[in-house]
Structure 1
Amino acid sequence: MQEITTIGLDIAKSVFQVHGIDVSGAVIVRRQLRRRQVLPFFRKLPACVIGIEACATAHHWGRELVALGHEVKLMPPRYVKPYVKRNKNDAADAEAICEAVTRPTMRFVPIKSPEQQSVLMLHRTRQLFVRQRTALINAIRAHLAEFGIVAGVGRNGVETLLGLIAEGEDDRIPPAAHACLMALAAQLAMVKRQILEADRRVLRRF
Structure 2
Amino acid sequence: MKITTIGLDIAKRFFHVVCCNEQGRLINKKMLTRAQVLAFFQKQPTCLVALEACATSNYWAREIQKCGHKVKLIPPQHVKAFLIGNKNDYNDALAISVAANQLHIKSVGIKSIEQQDNQAQHKVRELAVKQRTALCNQIRGLIAEYGIILSQGVNHVRKTIPFILDDGSTQLSETFKTILRQLQAQLNALDKCIEAYSQLIVETVKSNAICQRIQTIPGFGPMVSSAYFNEVGNGAHYKRGRDVSASLGIVPKQHSSGGKDSLLGISKRGNSYLRCLLIQGAKAVVSRAGTKSDKLSQWINKLVKTRGHNRACVAYANKMARMAWAITVSGEDYSTIEI
TM bucket (normalised to shorter chain) is: over 0.9
The answer to whether the 8 Å contact 1:168/1:178 transfers is no
Aligned partners of 2:164 and 2:170 also within 8 Å: no
TM-score normalised by structure 2 residue count:
0.57
More helix per residue: 1 or 2? 2
Distance 2:27 2:167 in 1: 72
Deviation at 1:166, TM superposition (A): 4.7
1:85 alignment counterpart: 84
Are the aligned partners of 1:151 and 1:160 in contact in 2 as well (CA < 8 Å)? no
Amino acid at match of 2:47: C
Q: Hey, what's the Cα distance between the residues in 1 that align with 2:189 and 2:95? A: 46
Quote the Cα distance in structure 1 between the aligned partners of 2:114 and 2:7: 27
Counterpart Cα distance in 1 of 2:48 and 2:62:
13
Q: In the alignment, residue 34 of structure 1 is paired with which amino acid?
A: T
| 3-state secondary structure, aligned to 2:110 | coil
Match for residue 196 of structure 1? 195
Instruction: Give 1:106 deviation, angstroms.
Output: 1.3
Kept after mapping to 2: 8 A contact 1:10/1:16 = yes
1-structure distance, mates of 2:155, 2:67: 57
Contact 2:73 2:110 in 1 (8 A): yes
Partner Cα distance (1:77, 1:29) in 2: 23
Q: Return the TM-score normalized by structure 1.
A: 0.92
CA contact (8 A) 1:8 1:20 kept: yes
Conserved? CA contact 1:80–1:100, under 8 Å = yes
What residue in structure 2 maps to residue 105 of structure 1? Answer: 104
CA distance in 2, matches of 1:9, 1:143: 50
Partner of 1:63: 62
Instruction: Describe the superposition over 1:53-82 as per-residue Cα deviations: whole angstroms up to 9, x where unpaired.
Output: 110000000000000001100011111111
For 1:102 and 1:92, locate their aligned partners in 2 and report how far apart those are by CA, in whole Å: 16
Shift of 1:130: 0.8
Report the Cα distance in structure 2 between the residues aligned to 1:158 and 1:129, rounded to whole angstroms. 17
1:193 and 1:18 map into 2 onto residues whose CA distance is 46
| Contact 1:164/1:170, CA 8 A, preserved across alignment | no
- 2 CA distance for matches of 1:198 and 1:51? 35
State the partner residue of 2:152.
153
Aligned match of 2:319: none
Percent sequence identity over aligned pairs:
40
Deviations 1:145-177 (A, max 9, x none): 111111233345313432145538565223333
2:224 corresponding residue in structure 1: none
- Aligned residue for 1:50, secondary structure, equals strand
Higher relative contact order, structure no. (Cα contacts within 8 Å, ≥ 6 residues apart): 1
How many Å separate the matches in 2 of 1:113 and 1:124?
A: 16
CA distance in 1 between counterparts of 2:152 and 2:201 reads: 29
Contact 2:20/2:26 (<8 A) preserved? yes
Q: Distance in 1 between matches of 2:60 and 2:180?
A: 45
Q: In structure 2, how many angstroms separate the alpha carbons of the residues matched to 1:178 and 1:34?
A: 54
- Alpha-carbon offset, residue 199 of structure 1: 1.3
Unaligned runs of 5+ in 2: 207-339
- Write the deviation string for residues 3-55 of structure 1: whole angstroms up to 9, x where unpaired: 21101101011111111101222211112111011011111111110000110
Amino acid at match of 2:99: A
Q: Please state whether the residue corresponding to 2:133 is helix, strand or coil.
A: helix
Greater shift in the superposed pair: 153-162 or 40-49 = 153-162
Rate the CA distance shift 1:25–1:160 in 2: closer, same or farther, 3 A.
closer
Distance 2:77 2:40 in 1: 28
Q: Which runs of 5+ in 1 are unaligned?
A: none
How many residue pairs align between the two structures?
A: 205
Structure 1 vs Structure 2 CA RMSD: 1.7
- Of 145-154 and 53-62, deviating more is 145-154
Contact 1:17–1:33 under 8 Å retained in 2:
yes
Residue 30 of structure 1 is matched in structure 2 by 29
- Please state if 1:133 is matched with 2:155: no
